[in-house]
A and B are shown apart, each in its own frame.
Chain A
């Protein structure tokens, strides 16, 4: 079982991001479970969502306490919320930011985890460019596909096309694809 925890703020599509990821997993014939952890509807409040992927039925219902991957949609949460708690040593971190880990004051993190599994990607900017809305969830899924290999980009694209009407879907597909390419390149250079 592969467990993902997504952090963000209300209005950034954290919950729908987890849902889309679960659909991507489903389209590959896997079992997937996605659920939110939030309070009453309120923009801007810290929000978490979880996604589990497995090849057999998922019975577990607790929150993801030991994620295999973290997707952080809002860097302002970094020094406010204990985002990294429980992250497995081989874990992946995908962070939405134009800056690198060192610039964000997270150098220590790079020491504790595999370099190639930590990545920042300017997801909000990518979303603005293609979709015109500052909702980074879909590009981050493209980046997640690249960094973890848990789902294929095609599956993310298919999930996006299922959810959105045609015109908006294609814009999101473009955003996911660009993020995928950026993260793939970063991985190559990190592994080198």
Chain B
């Protein structure tokens, strides 16, 4: 059924349709509306056979999820940014124990400095924990990916993170098609655990593993993610057959067939990128883009296929490997191993800074004439940076950096973008 609704609410509806049994979450901007949406459905009785637990921290949230999942319940939680870090120990624990928990990440920057707006630093901080990470480009895809996520998680016995841009998607009203319960039931069967805490057949979950076996256990976790590489497209194809639309998969290409310049990005910014690609194509520029949907496992082969014939690749990242440059770029570079082409890393949208068509067009034009630096910070205010560096040189007691910069740029409330 078509509906015009907030992204968070669309996701809440999708979660409810997946027949979750235990939901536990701690509030953090911008995930709050998702959890509130599901909580309301449990309280007013629309969502039955589901317990909603108000936990006291994110660490508790994922821990409760671990217990519930281990006891055989389909379990869901959601968080962002600082909350994801607060549960970091449990994130690794859930993956290590092979529990098929599904968690939404309302992507938000990680402090300090504290920032509630969107970027991908939170999901990236947990990229090697062993969770599958899927990124939604639109609210429709966010809704769809949660349904695919439960199926994927339970087939592999591996937890899955569905990442959607905070505010940009979570708080945006969009047209979405909400599936029916029958459609979801046909796609997502009841949870059949690989392991379960049951007095009838006692097992010990979470035993200590020493040097004699740890490597093998870790290798199997790696192998499991590699098995997700063919499974993700397969489930996406099944989804298309059942629900009538394309969503998910490893990557999506846009006008890349004869492209000389290809832009690679994750999440909602792909929409704006595609607009610019169209504009530049109209001007005769051979440009295309690739949206990475599955970031873990990283789709090396699929990317290689998509990028191999281009002259240059621009990786547009909403995250930063401090001291190194790009995070996504590393994976892209690896996929192009042995292939000669120019690669550019562009760090953009950090902490919610708007990524505009205008800036992107200029950026892609510069890339096209290979006038771009290896690593660029899009729309960086060089003046402010230079001034701050100079200020720090003048006195040892230079004070907090953030305060100094904010003082310099003035009142933020009166700005448009």
- Interface, chain A (partner B; CB < 8 A): 5, 15, 18-19, 22-23, 25-27, 31-36, 39-40, 45-46, 48, 58-63, 65, 80-82, 85-86
B83 to chain A, nearest CB (A): 15
Q: Find out whether the CB atom of B175 lies under 8 angstroms from the CB atom of A40.
A: no
Report the nearest A residue to B358, measured CB to CB.
A65
Q: List 10 A-B contacts (CB under 8 A).
A: A23-B173, A35-B167, A35-B168, A40-B116, A59-B272, A61-B268, A61-B355, A63-B356, A81-B413, A85-B416
* Docked-complex contact B416 and A35, CB < 8 angstroms: no
CB-nearest residue of chain A relative to B359? A62
Set of chain A residues within 8 Å of B175, measured between Cβ atoms: 26, 31-32
Chain B residues whose C-beta falls within 8 Å of the C-beta of A15 in the assembled complex: 171
Complex Cα–Cα for A46 and B416 (A): 10
Q: Is B141 an interface residue (CB 8 A)?
A: no
Whether A33 touches B272, Cβ cut-off 8 Å, given contacts A46-B413, A62-B356, A85-B416, is: no
The chain B residues found within 8 Å of chain A, CB to CB, are 2, 4, 6, 29, 116, 167-168, 171-175, 268-272, 274-275, 354-358, 413-417
Q: How far is the CB of B142 from chain A (nearest CB, A)?
A: 13
Taking a contact as CB atoms closer than 8 A, the residue among B6, B29, B173, B414 that contacts A32 in the complex is: B173
The 3 closest A-B pairs by CB, nearest first: A59-B271, A26-B4, A35-B172
List A contacts of B29 (CB < 8 A).
Answer: 40
A63 touches B417 (CB 8 A): yes
**With A26-B4, A60-B357 as contacts: A81 and B414 at CB distance below 8 Å:** yes
Task: Say whether A22 contacts B173, CB under 8 Å.
Answer: yes
For the complex formed, measure the closest distance between the CB of A36 and the CB atoms of chain B, giving whole angstroms.
6
| A residues in contact with B358, CB < 8 Å | 65
Query: Residues of A contacting B174 with CB < 8 Å?
Result: 32-33, 58
Question: Which chain B residue has the least Cβ–Cβ distance from A64?
Answer: B416
Q: Are A23 and B417 in contact (CB under 8 A)?
A: no
Complex alpha-carbon distance, A56 and B173, angstroms: 15
A62–B167 touching, CB < 8 Å: no
Interchain pairs with CB closer than 8 A, number: 78
* Chain B residues within 8 Å of A65, by CB: 356, 358, 416-417
Chain A nearest CB: distance from B412 CB in Å?
8
Complexed CA–CA distance, A68 and B336 (Å): 44
In the complex, how many angstroms separate the beta carbon of B135 from the nearest chain A beta carbon? 14
List the B residue with the shortest CB-CB distance to A84: B416
Contact present for B274 and A39 (CB under 8 Å): no
Partner of A19, one of B173, B413, B414, B416: B173
CA separation between A80 and B415, bound complex, in Å? 10
How many Å lie between the Cα of A61 and that of B356 in the bound state? 8
Whether B271 pairs with A34 at a CB distance below 8 angstroms is no
User: A33 touches which one: B167, B173, B356 (CB < 8 A)?
Assistant: B173
Task: Tell me which of B6, B270, B357, B414 contacts A62 (CB under 8 A).
Answer: B357
Partner among A22, A35, A59, A63 whose Cβ is within 8 Å of the Cβ of B4: A22
Check B354 against A46 for contact (C-beta < 8 Å): no
Residues of A within 8 A of B269 (CB): 61
CB-defined contacts of A19 to chain B, threshold 8 Å: 6, 173
Minimum Cβ distance to chain A for residue B173 (Å): 4
* Given contacts A59-B272, A60-B272, A62-B354, A34 and B414 within 8 Å (CB-CB): no
Most buried by A among B268, B269, B356: B356
Known: A35-B172, A61-B271. 9 other contacts (CB 8 A): A22-B173, A23-B173, A32-B175, A34-B172, A59-B272, A59-B274, A61-B355, A62-B417, A65-B417
* Contact A86-B416, Cβ < 8 Å, known A26-B4, A59-B271, A61-B268: yes
How far, in Å, is B348 (CB) from chain A's closest CB? 11
Partner of A46 from B116, B356, B414 at Cβ < 8 Å: B414
Q: Which residues of A contact B357 (CB under 8 A)?
A: 60, 62
A47 nearest CB neighbor, chain B only: B413
Q: Which chain A residue lies CB-closest to B412?
A: A39
Minimum CB–CB distance for B244 against chain A, Å: 16
Q: Which residues of B contact A18 (CB under 8 A)?
A: 173
Kindly name the residue among A32, A62, A65, A85 whose own CB sees the greatest number of chain B CB atoms within 10 A.
A62
CA distance A27 to B174 in the complex (A): 12
Establish whether residues A62 and B173, one from each chain, have CB atoms under 8 Å apart when the complex forms: no
Roughly how many angstroms separate A4 CA and B69 CA in the complex, as a whole number?
46
Given contacts A18-B173, A39-B116, A65-B356, A60 and B414 within 8 Å (CB-CB): no
Cα of A18 to Cα of B271 in the assembled complex, Å: 20
When distances are taken between beta carbons in the complex, the residues of chain A under 8 Å from B413 are 45-46, 81
Could you say which residues of chain B place their CB within 8 Å of the CB of A23? 4, 173
Could you tell me the distance between the alpha carbons of A18 and B172 in the complex, rounded to whole angstroms?
A: 10
Q: Tell me whether A62 and B416 are in contact (CB under 8 A).
A: no
Chain A residues contacting B268 (CB-CB under 8 Å) are: 61
Q: What is the minimal beta-carbon distance from B159 to any residue of chain A, in angstroms?
A: 28
User: What are the residues of chain B within 8 A of A45 when measuring CB–CB?
Assistant: 413
Q: Which of B116, B173, B358 has the most CB of A within 10 A?
A: B173
B282 to chain A, nearest CB (A): 15
